[in-house]
Amino acid sequence: MPTVDVDGLSAYYEVHGPSGHATANPVLVMGGWGTFTGEDFREVPRGVARGRTVVVFDWRGLGRSADSPARPATTREHARVAAAVVDASGLATHGPRLHVVGIVGMGACVAQWLAIDRPDLVRSLAVSGGWAAPDRVFTDQMHALRDVFLTDGFYAFQRLSALWCFDPELYVQYADRVLGPDGAWKHLNGRLETMRRLVEATVTHDTIARLGEIGVPAFVLHAGADLLTGPRLTGPIEAGIPGARSELWPELPHVVAGKEAKTRFSAIFDAFIGGVEAETR
């Protein structure tokens, strides 16, 4: 199990895909309140992973990464761990910088800080489902999810989250898969303190005044049917990053689910990353 020590706390990470000379296009992929490690690596968009070396890791307090109340519960702190993971992987040391992909939640925020604080590691930036700063609606939504988790338990939180995050027709069809111990956000089950700290990181994220420092090619996918992080929150990310490209997907909710949607989502990010690779060969 590869881990890196950050302030005496171990952070678990994995490196998947080609090695050696084929690491010319490495990618760091980060998601929301979950993980892409272990069996969940299958949730990494296939187009992003195909032919590339992919780095994934567990957030502090989630999966196999340790946390401590002595460390800040902020997206910038998570970005510092992400940088340590990339450094430990050796991919940026012995090869080019990494494409950084932050999708469907907090990963999109951590990706911003990584591009700001460690530009030496970042080749391009691609995000969806993120925000540059929360508004009152989003903050109250996050606090509601936290409060439901703390008072009524994980399964009540899971159900409320799914009702906000999934396409209604897909939810009706696949609710039994989405809900339950093996369903969405399963890694949070039983981790009350981790949930609280992730919410704190979520609602305190603010890069509005710093986005102009990002100098790499950037892409923002706007999800028009996202009840949590729709264009009202992803719009300022695009506006703040010089030269950022974007695409609006009007029917996309917060969580990308279903074969057709996953294929399209994957192709969108692969096209951006592939374009950057073609431009910078």
pLDDT tens digits for range 198-210: 999 999 999 999 9
In this prediction the pTM is: 0.96
Instruction: Mark the ranges of the chain whose per-residue pLDDT is less than 50.
Output: 21
Type of residue found at 238: E
**CATH assignment of 3-133+204-279, among 3.20.20.70, 3.40.50.1820, 3.30.420.40, 1.20.1080.10:** 3.40.50.1820
> At CA 251, angle to CA 158 and CA 200, rounded to 5?
40
pLDDT tens digits for range 32-54: 999 999 999 999 999 999 999 99
Ordered by start, the domain boundaries in the chain are 3-133+204-279
Residue 206 Cα distances to 100, 145, 194, 243, angstroms: 19, 20, 20, 20
